[in-house]
Chain A
């Protein structure tokens, strides 16, 4: 923890790696994500960014390397332990409780804030969870859809609910897996603004994996670029955009 670059790092990834058979899907990945910043992992298709995301969030157990969150080793933690540590994640393919109402999705997730209490008393006694659910409905513009089944929402609304559910427990860091995947241009803009607000208004640290480079360059404070399972560059969006290695990876040698 004495390394100067780790001083404000909320998340430190060191030497992370995994193989699928002969393929080194992610190899020796190291970077820091600063507290209150938006950090993005980008890279061409097959660069290993989704695998990196799954390694960091504990969905895949790494073969080598470590993930430290707020100074604690959280490498390979089970999802519920990861959330207890303060790290929450969303899913690229919307992963909601489709047969339950929007409100119920949020209240269930917000029940984490009741700190293990209230399991056996009627739902209306869970004031903390209910208040949090209402707050999220407003924040994410879903109040008018509160009593609809999550499965009946439009794709854009489901993507928003997906992020709201991940935020319900008030995590200190949010991992977003391709949050604008399959969204229209307008929805992408809106989501980008929302992610920006999460960091600026609520001091939330965000790590996102995204294929939409323009969106990433607009919202991120720090960008990690991957190609063929390895980090090829990281820095501010401007620095990364100007980096010749990044241009080669994205556009080939001719550029």
Chain B
């Protein structure tokens, strides 16, 4: 089952690139049109979708590219959010400092978590990752200094660039768009390097990797730390958007949603993680305004997607786009 969900749909990057263009253009257009229409609720919701999209990107790095199912990736997302909030509140209201400290601590936490979790495979890895997140979230939940179950409020407004503050909905949307877009491009680049290809080799046949002279464990650790940094950097943006953090950010609900986003969007494609986050944020918001039981609908949708489109939205669209592309040959000569 996991194999079916984690195999990448295509080695041909053109259709995936096209879908990435569509996603980032549409997101920007949505935010600009929303702002022109005087809306801030939906612009902030779109920002939040992008931030959780960053968490989903980190899940796709592990699930879709290395073949590890992380059920506790929100640990690093929440850690990034708490560190960012603490730096902004108690140290200095500096965007870059909050980002830098969050990234550094999440890399360290990723290294420690990786050393614990990476030795295990399959369902054991998933459960250890889940367990680590449970432990840390419960510790924070019970730590009065960190606001315990209430979380921390009163994160100050930050100046990102002169004239651009985090309380400007469109301005902060663009900051998030640049950060998440940058991470997307960075990960896409890595997947085209021998490092990224070795991740694929581990996903396909980890046993053989050792006989090529490479220690698979070492590469899985690199991927795990990278995923912790991507999740942590995304999380660091959260308190800048919402002005607060809470232990719920580390709960299984968040980790599980990220996995659902990746699978609905199409694992192993990276851009699918962002499509999934966008779609499910919209669904939660739209359905949530009709019924309090929107999770039932989303759960049902997840089941339908896994059965009907096991490779997710992007995995379904890519072959269609490639077929269309090959039916309309352009006069491109080498």
> Which of A's residues lie within 8 Å of B, judged by CB?
78-80, 83-84, 88-89, 91, 95-101, 104, 107-109, 111-112, 114, 118-123, 126, 129, 165-166, 168-169
In the assembled complex, B193 has its CB within 8 A of some CB on chain A: yes
- Closest chain A CB from B223 CB (angstroms): 12
Given known contacts A104-B197, A123-B193, A98 and B205 CB-to-CB distance under 8 angstroms: yes
Contact of A97 among B195, B204, B210, B213 (CB under 8 A): B204
A80 x B194 contact (CB < 8 A): no
Name B160-218 residues within 8 Å CB distance of A: 189-190, 192-195, 197-198, 200-201, 204-205, 207-208, 210-215
Distance in angstroms between the alpha carbons of A114 and B211 in the assembled complex: 16
CB<8 Å pairs between A and B, sample of 11 = A79-B210, A96-B205, A97-B205, A99-B7, A104-B197, A109-B212, A111-B194, A112-B213, A114-B194, A119-B193, A129-B194
- Closest chain B CB from A118 CB (angstroms): 6
Contact of A122 among B11, B193, B207 (CB under 8 A): B193
A contact residues around B204 at 8 Å (CB): 97-100
Given known contacts A100-B200, A123-B193, A123-B194, A95 and B210 CB-to-CB distance under 8 angstroms: no
B214 x A80 contact (CB < 8 A): yes
B213 x A169 contact (CB < 8 A): yes
Which range contains the number of B residues in contact with the other chain?
20 to 34
Distance in angstroms between the alpha carbons of A208 and B207 in the assembled complex: 21
Q: In the complex, what residue of chain A is closest to B214 when comparing beta carbons?
A: A80
Distance in angstroms between the alpha carbons of A169 and B208 in the assembled complex: 14
B215 x A80 contact (CB < 8 A): yes
Contact of B211 among A88, A101, A118, A126 (CB under 8 A): A88
> Which of B's residues lie within 8 Å of A, judged by CB?
7, 11, 189-190, 192-195, 197-198, 200-201, 204-205, 207-208, 210-215
Number of A-B contacts (CB under 8 A): 77
B207 x A95 contact (CB < 8 A): yes
Q: In the complex, what residue of chain B is closest to A151 when comparing beta carbons?
A: B204
Distance in angstroms between the alpha carbons of A119 and B214 in the assembled complex: 12
A96 x B212 contact (CB < 8 A): no
A contact residues around B213 at 8 Å (CB): 80, 83-84, 112, 169
Given known contacts A101-B11, A165-B212, A95 and B205 CB-to-CB distance under 8 angstroms: yes
Contact of A119 among B194, B201, B210, B211 (CB under 8 A): B194
A contact residues around B7 at 8 Å (CB): 99
B contact residues around A109 at 8 Å (CB): 212
Contact of B201 among A78, A108, A112, A121 (CB under 8 A): A108
B211 x A121 contact (CB < 8 A): no
Given known contacts A97-B204, A123-B194, A78 and B212 CB-to-CB distance under 8 angstroms: no
A contact residues around B208 at 8 Å (CB): 91, 95-97, 165
Given contacts A97-B208, A99-B204, A118-B193, list 16 more A-B pairs with CB under 8 A.
A80-B210, A80-B213, A83-B213, A88-B211, A95-B207, A97-B201, A97-B204, A100-B201, A104-B197, A108-B201, A111-B194, A112-B214, A114-B194, A118-B194, A120-B190, A122-B193
- Closest chain B CB from A109 CB (angstroms): 5
Distance in angstroms between the alpha carbons of A123 and B189 in the assembled complex: 10
Given known contacts A95-B205, A100-B204, A108 and B197 CB-to-CB distance under 8 angstroms: yes
Q: In the complex, what residue of chain B is closest to A83 when comparing beta carbons?
A: B213
B contact residues around A99 at 8 Å (CB): 7, 200, 204
6 A-B pairs closest in CB distance: A79-B210, A83-B213, A112-B213, A119-B195, A97-B204, A99-B204
Q: Could you say which of B190, B192, B204, B207 has the most chain A C-beta atoms within 10 Å of its C-beta?
A: B204
Distance in angstroms between the alpha carbons of A98 and B7 in the assembled complex: 11
B contact residues around A123 at 8 Å (CB): 192-194, 197
- Closest chain A CB from B315 CB (angstroms): 14
- Closest chain B CB from A21 CB (angstroms): 25
Contact of A108 among B190, B192, B198, B215 (CB under 8 A): B198
Distance in angstroms between the alpha carbons of A97 and B210 in the assembled complex: 13
A contact residues around B11 at 8 Å (CB): 101
Q: In the complex, what residue of chain B is closest to A168 when comparing beta carbons?
A: B212
- Closest chain A CB from B214 CB (angstroms): 6
A contact residues around B190 at 8 Å (CB): 120
- Closest chain B CB from A168 CB (angstroms): 8
Q: In the complex, what residue of chain A is closest to B211 when comparing beta carbons?
A: A79
- Closest chain B CB from A197 CB (angstroms): 22
- Closest chain B CB from A222 CB (angstroms): 25
Distance in angstroms between the alpha carbons of A169 and B194 in the assembled complex: 15
Q: In the complex, what residue of chain A is closest to B210 when comparing beta carbons?
A: A79
Q: In the complex, what residue of chain B is closest to A112 when comparing beta carbons?
A: B213
Q: In the complex, what residue of chain B is closest to A111 when comparing beta carbons?
A: B194
Q: In the complex, what residue of chain A is closest to B219 when comparing beta carbons?
A: A119
Q: In the complex, what residue of chain A is closest to B8 when comparing beta carbons?
A: A99
Given known contacts A112-B212, A112-B213, A126 and B194 CB-to-CB distance under 8 angstroms: yes
- Closest chain B CB from A18 CB (angstroms): 20
Q: In the complex, what residue of chain A is closest to B216 when comparing beta carbons?
A: A80
Distance in angstroms between the alpha carbons of A80 and B215 in the assembled complex: 6
- Closest chain B CB from A59 CB (angstroms): 9
B197 x A122 contact (CB < 8 A): no
